[in-house]
């Protein structure tokens, strides 16, 4: 059996290619006009003739456009492959799924590591400060480019969930439903604090050079430490105990500053692996955008959402202490007070924040049935979100 046949038998979308969409400029939330802007994106499935079956997947901090399938000569599938494909939660026999790398990213979309056409050198810190809303406005340009008037749904976890809320608040007439997962209306002081530790570790690296490290040694140690801190928050105490315990890697000298414990080795591996695929300046810009985000814009979210016809599914996880359940319940409360049709589920998982990537069966079950219900109105009545 060849590799492609094996992929198809596993209900994968198979081999995929990343595409690029470039537009002249984007007016940022700061008031600055920035461009040109390129967004890397992938699509899975087929857009129907009514263009009513499109689902936008938005990624978390370290994600990219490659959400499903395999790239040529690569062995690892996309980051949400378990959810996207024939018969899966996002059934590509039924839905047209889109995923783009965010503005400010480093996997094909315009970001700090991109060349500034005015100088011919990477933007570095000349890249403008961006917001979650800016990322979503760029995504909207892509959706418009694809000829899609209204998305069936926009879905994402963590920072992706912030983007979902931005769509819900700023472009309610462009979406029929929204699925924010393990996210929040705004970051708490604790969430900001963890991100600040990551940023400081990068900027304290001697190789950072005020962001001008391109063409030389990158601030790999600082970025690795930032990722190590992040991974601690993504897991739960129970999942770490079950995965590592206090197991040591093997006999050796004691009281040396080596990775004696399995959990130490895991964190170092994650940190070292991350620097191979991510840009430190992108990490700074994206985490700052997350911290600055407030879906309510300083107002009462329920007042902003009042009158919205968008259907909402909110999902959280009991062991998630980075984005705890009370923050998802605040989203639900605001939606309910606004009269928005909302479903809420807190999944009993031990995986911590990582559960939105790992709890495939129960999460997929919820999403599959929610989307089926939302799409029913169009399939039966032909009335698409009116």
Catalytic residues: 158, 320, 353
> How far is Cα 145 from Cα 142, in angstroms, rounded to an integer?
5
E-only strand ranges, 35-95: 37-44, 54-57, 84-85, 90-91
Cα radius of gyration (the chain): 21
CA gap 275, 195 in Å, rounded: 17
349 alpha-carbon distance from chain centroid: 20
Cβ pair 239, 189 in contact under 8 A: no
DSSP helix/strand/coil, 70? strand
Q: Are residues 15 and 5 in contact, defined by beta-carbon separation less than 8 angstroms? A: no
**What phi, psi does 204 have (nearest 5°)?**
-85, -15
Let me know: does 34 contact 42? Beta carbons within 8 Å: no
Q: Among residues 281, 47, 287, which one has the least CA distance to residue 187?
A: 287
The count of C-alpha atoms lying within 13 angstroms of the C-alpha of 382, restricted to the half-sphere facing its C-beta, is: 1
From CA 178, how far away is CA 164, in angstroms rounded?
A: 6
Q: What does the alpha-carbon distance between residue 298 and residue 245 come to, in Å, rounded to a whole number? A: 43
CA angle 323, 328, 330 (to 5 degrees): 120
Bridge partners of 248, per DSSP, are: 261
The residue behind tokens 């009281």 is: 255
């Amino acid at each position: 059996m060849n590799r492609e046949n094996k992929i198809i038998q596993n209900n994968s979308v198979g081999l995929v290619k990343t595409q690029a969409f470039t537009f002249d400029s984007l007016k940022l939330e700061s008031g600055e006009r920035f461009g040109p802007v390129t967004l890397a994106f992938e699509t899975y499935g087929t857009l129907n003739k009514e263009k009513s079956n499109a689902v936008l997947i938005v990624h978390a901090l370290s994600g990219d456009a490659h959400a499903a399938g395999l790239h040529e000569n690569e062995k690892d599938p996309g980051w949400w492959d378990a959810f996207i494909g024939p018969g899966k939660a996002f059934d590509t026999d039924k839905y047209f799924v889109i995923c783009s790398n965010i503005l400010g990213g480093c996997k094909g979309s315009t970001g700090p590591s991109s060349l500034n056409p005015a100088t011919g050198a990477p933007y570095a810190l000349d890249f403008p400060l961006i917001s979650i809303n800016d990322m979503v406005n760029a995504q909207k340009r892509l959706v418009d480019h694809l000829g899609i008037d209204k998305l069936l749904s926009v879905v994402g976890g963590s920072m992706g969930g912030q983007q979902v809320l931005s769509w819900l608040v700023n472009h309610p007439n462009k979406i029929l439903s929204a699925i924010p997962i393990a996210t929040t209306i705004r970051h708490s002081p604790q969430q900001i604090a963890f991100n600040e530790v990551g940023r400081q570790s990068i900027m304290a690296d001697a190789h950072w050079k005020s962001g001008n490290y391109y063409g030389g040694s990158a601030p790999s140690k600082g970025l690795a430490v930032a990722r190590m801190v992040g991974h601690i928050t993504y897991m739960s105490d129970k999942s770490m105990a079950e995965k590592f315990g206090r197991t040591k890697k093997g006999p050796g000298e004691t009281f040396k500053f080596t990775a004696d414990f399995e959990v130490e080795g895991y964190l170092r591996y994650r940190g070292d692996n991350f620097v191979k695929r991510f840009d430190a300046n992108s990490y700074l810009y994206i985490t700052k955008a997350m911290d600055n985000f407030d879906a309510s814009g300083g107002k009462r979210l329920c007042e902003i959402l009042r009158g919205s016809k968008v259907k909402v599914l909110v999902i959280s996880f009991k062991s998630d202490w980075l984005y705890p359940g009370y923050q998802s319940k605040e989203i639900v409360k605001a939606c309910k007070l606004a009269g928005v049709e909302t479903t809420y589920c807190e999944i009993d998982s031990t995986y911590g924040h990582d559960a939105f990537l790992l709890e495939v069966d129960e999460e997929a079950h919820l999403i599959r049935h929610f989307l089926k219900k939302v799409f029913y109105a169009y399939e039966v009545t032909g009335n698409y979100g009116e």
